[in-house]
């Protein structure tokens, strides 16, 4: 049998005040409440077990105190770590985070975005399967959005700056792959191959360009290039093709591919890094615990989440959301957020001791 939920009226009756005063206490305004009355209301809330109905509040205020995060694959450790950082940042500001997994499928992704919008989320953080993302799905919405993997971010930002509702994260995938390749070259590698992601993905093509840039600048020829899904299985299956290139180093598209590749090479009796040095992009905390430990380019997930949330919310929290000046909100413009990255060299590339390049690489 379902239990009846306590109401705001019951809280007001027990506290000996009005429902309006209870609302002022819950929302920290807009009118002041004496300390003695506030304590009575809080005691009544504790006694009854009352919880505010956010759906009802959203209907009145137009604000849900919920934000949406859409990612292609929550099994990806990098995206899972990023989601955790976002949840922490939003929660500290009084927001609930709804997370949607698009399963690397664009049609499903669009359905997830539309579902988030129907839930009246106050904002979206969106890592799209496709680049550029299908922005038409949010074109008729007034919901602000952060595009985590936008292409031509400056152009998109300028086009939407007047509305102040589209924020682009600038991530230089090409530069990150170039840095990874240069690190292998610094270890003496001369036959460097690249394991990339699906060729239909723009970020895969950008990483391939960065790999080629570094080789060209060093006067080296590519040892070979192959593509695979951004998964452990993809990295494992690509090992036989990569071995045919006879490389002494491999730049890997992401951490999951690298984990699969390490397992396959170890099973084939290939020594890492003595036979082949390995470095990956988008490393996570888990890179420390592979065998051997995985060298990687790391994006600063916590810093990125903090910067995105600050840009999206503008320092506001759910206690003052309803008191924003609409005119100021409409005229607010936000510069693109820049993703910072740094290289951590570990055993897989030949670093005898953990090496961290403290320089931050930016667009």
pLDDT in tens, 190-206: 999 999 999 888 889 99
User: What pLDDT is stored for residue 138 in this prediction?
Assistant: 87
pLDDT of residue 134: 85
The boundaries of every CATH 3.40.50.2300 domain in the chain are 64-171+301-339, 173-298
Can you give the pTM of this predicted structure? 0.77
Write the CB contacts of 136 (distance below 8 Å, at least 6 apart in sequence): none
Which overall architecture, per CATH, does domain 64-171+301-339 show? 3-Layer(aba) Sandwich (3.40)
User: How does pLDDT run across 310-342, given as a tens digit for each residue?
Assistant: 988 875 555 444 334 344 444 344 566 888 899
pLDDT attached to residue 20 = 85
Split at pLDDT 50, 70, 90, the class of 10 is: confident
Which CATH fold topology does 8-52 show?
Answer: 434 Repressor (Amino-terminal Domain) (1.10.260)
Structure confidence at residue 8 (pLDDT): 81
Arch. (CATH architecture) of 173-298: 3-Layer(aba) Sandwich (3.40)
What does the pLDDT look like over 77-120, one tens digit per residue?
999 999 999 999 999 988 999 999 999 899 999 999 999 998 88
Confidence of residue 357 (pLDDT cuts 50, 70, 90): low
Give the mean model confidence (pLDDT) for residues 34-47.
89
Please list the residue range(s) of the chain that carry CATH number 1.10.260.40: 8-52
């Amino acid at each position: 049998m379902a239990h009846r939920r306590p109401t705001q009226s019951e809280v007001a009756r027990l506290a000996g005040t009005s429902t309006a005063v209870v609302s002022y206490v819950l929302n920290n305004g807009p009118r002041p409440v004496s300390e003695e009355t506030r304590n009575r209301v809080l005691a009544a809330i504790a006694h009854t077990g009352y919880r505010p109905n956010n759906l009802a509040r959203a209907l009145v205020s137009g604000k849900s105190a919920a934000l949406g995060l859409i990612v292609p694959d929550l099994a990806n450790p990098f995206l899972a770590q990023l989601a955790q950082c976002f949840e922490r940042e939003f929660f500290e500001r009084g927001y609930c985070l709804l997370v949607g997994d698009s399963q690397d499928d664009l049609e499903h992704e669009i359905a997830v975005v539309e579902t988030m919008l129907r839930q009246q989320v106050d904002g979206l953080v969106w890592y799209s399967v496709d680049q550029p993302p299908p922005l038409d799905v949010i074109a008729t919405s007034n919901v602000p959005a952060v595009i985590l993997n936008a292409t031509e971010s400056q152009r998109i930002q300028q086009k939407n700056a007047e509305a102040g509702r589209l924020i682009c994260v600038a991530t230089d995938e090409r530069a990150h792959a170039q840095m990874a390749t240069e690190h292998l070259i610094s270890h003496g590698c001369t036959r460097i191959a690249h394991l990339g992601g699906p060729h239909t993905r723009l970020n895969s093509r950008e990483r391939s360009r960065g790999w080629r840039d570094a080789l060209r600048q060093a006067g080296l020829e590519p040892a070979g290039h192959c593509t695979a899904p951004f998964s452990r299985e993809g990295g494992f299956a690509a090992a036989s093709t990569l071995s045919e290139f006879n490389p002494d180093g491999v730049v890997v598209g992401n951490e999951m591919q690298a984990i699969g590749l390490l397992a396959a090479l170890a099973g084939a009796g290939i020594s890492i890094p003595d036979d082949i040095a390995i470095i990956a992009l988008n490393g996570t905390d888990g890179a420390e615990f592979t065998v051997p430990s995985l060298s990687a380019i790391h994006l600063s997930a916590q810093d990125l989440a903090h910067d995105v949330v600050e840009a999206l919310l503008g320092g506001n929290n759910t206690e003052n959301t309803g008191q924003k000046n609409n005119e100021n909100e409409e005229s607010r413009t936000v510069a693109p957020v820049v993703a910072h990255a740094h290289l951590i060299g570990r055993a897989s590339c030949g670093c005898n001791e953990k090496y961290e390049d403290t320089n931050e690489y930016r667009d």
